[in-house]
Structure 1
């Protein structure tokens, strides 16, 4: 066996776990996206006052649902809610 033959065998052996890891990560990410979408749809069943309790509005749900399937709409809601809190805090500082 030459060095070249050994190097070819080694790369083939080490690439298999990397492919399996990528496939496992893809499946895991798809499952997580599906699970988060289900949780997101449960938010739509809440009343407006319940949404207000957690810092969201019904319009926020409409904005967040427009993200592509691969992205997490709950992450978009988190950004919207944190931006709203920062804006409210800034206004409160200016008033005080």
Structure 2
């Protein structure tokens, strides 16, 4: 086995590891987004005053629900709350 063969084998192994890591990262993000979306839907059961206590309005929920399924709607809500806090 030459040094070139060893380098090629190492590169292939690193490529497989990187591909596996990317796949696991993608699955992890999807599962996190799915869990957060379930929690997000529970927000709609809250009263307007409860939503106001955490810095949200019912309209904010309608805006965030339009995000694609694979994306986390709570990220959008966080941006809304942060923007509102900066205005105050």
TM-score of the superposed pair, with normalisation by structure 2: 0.86
In the alignment, structure 1 residue 17 sits paired with structure 2 residue 17? yes
Superposition map of 1:1-96 within 5 A: 1-87=1-87, 89=88
**Gap runs ≥5 in structure 1:** 90-96
Q: Which of structures 1 and 2 has the bigger CA Rg? A: 1
The structure whose RCO (Cα within 8 Å, separation 6+) is larger is 2
Matched residues in 1 for 2:37 and 2:71: separation?
10
Matched residues in 2 for 1:84 and 1:3: separation?
59
- Report the Cα offset of residue 38 of structure 1: 0.6
- Report the Cα offset of residue 18 of structure 1: 1.3
- Report the Cα offset of residue 68 of structure 1: 1.5
Deviations 1:4-59 (A, max 9, x none): 33332221222222122111111111110001101100101111111111111111
Aligned residues: 88
**Gap runs ≥5 in structure 2:** none
* CA RMSD, 1 decimal: 1.5
